[in-house]
């Protein structure tokens, strides 16, 4: 495999500062650039949010653009349906999960896809994202469909 994660995902927002705060507080991301796309023209603003050592969100805030408001239905959201972030470890995954639930950005459900655990969330603009991590309970060669609950995240007796 020639890749090991995302380089960047370009997204539109109507409120870059709110979006920055979300990714900084939940994922400990860092805003490394925030300026007009073209000198002297504030109508298009680009910010670069580092979400990993070599992965970023390119966030565009475009005056008068309402595309960030169109987030439903699935497959009707434009060319970007969602993006997935790779958690650095199971501990990092659990920290992110706790933070997302505390913000009301995700429910507690973790999908067991077999080799991978997956948690979906929505950012403040309604964009759907996913956090993935290697499944320590995976059985080699066994996969599961969307909606299969990860046993380690199901309360006992449920």
The pLDDT value given to residue 79 = 65
155's CB contacts (< 8 A; 6+ apart) are none
Q: Domain for residue 3, yes or no? A: no
Report the number of distinct structural domains present in the chain.
1
Query: Which two three-digit tokens encode residue 91?
Result: 């501990």
Domain hosting residue 120, numbered range? 8-153
Q: pLDDT tens across 40-65, in order?
A: 778 889 999 999 988 999 898 988 88
Mind giving me the DSSP string for 40-99?
TEEEEEEEEEEEETTEEEEEEEETT--GGG---STT-S-S--EEEEE-SSHHHHHHHHHH
Q: What is the CA radius of gyration of the chain?
A: 17
Identify the three-state secondary structure at position 20.
helix
Put simply, whether the predicted model's pTM sits higher than 0.85 gets the answer: no
The pLDDT value given to residue 158 = 66
The pLDDT value given to residue 43 = 87
The pLDDT value given to residue 148 = 93
Q: pLDDT tens across 68-82, in order?
A: 777 777 777 676 768
Q: Domain for residue 50, yes or no? A: yes
**Residue 147 to residue 115: CA distance in whole angstroms:** 14
116-122 and 128-134 beta bridge pairing: antiparallel
Q: Domain for residue 86, yes or no? A: yes
- What is the distance between the terminal CA atoms of the chain, rounded to a whole angstrom? 39
Instruction: Between 3 and 1, name the one with better pLDDT.
Output: 3
**For range 88-96, the mean pLDDT:** 93
Any idea what the CATH number is for the domain that residue 104 is in? Answer: 3.10.180.10
């Amino acid at each position: 495999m020639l890749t090991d994660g995302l380089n960047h995902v370009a997204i539109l927002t109507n409120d870059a500062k709110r979006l920055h705060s979300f990714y900084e507080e939940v994922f400990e991301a860092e805003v490394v650039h925030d300026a007009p796309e073209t000198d002297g023209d504030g109508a298009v603003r680009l910010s670069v949010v580092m979400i990993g050592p070599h992965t970023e969100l390119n966030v565009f805030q475009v005056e008068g653009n309402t595309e960030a408001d169109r987030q439903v239905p699935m497959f009707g959201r434009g060319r970007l349906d969602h993006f997935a972030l790779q958690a650095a470890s199971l501990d990092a995954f659990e920290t992110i999960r706790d933070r997302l639930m505390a913000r009301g950005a995700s429910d507690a459900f973790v999908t067991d896809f077999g080799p991978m655990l997956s948690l979906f969330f929505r950012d403040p603009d309604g964009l759907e994202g996913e956090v993935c991590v290697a499944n320590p309970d995976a059985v080699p060669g066994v996969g599961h469909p969307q909606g299969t609950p990860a046993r380690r995240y199901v309360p006992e007796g449920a």
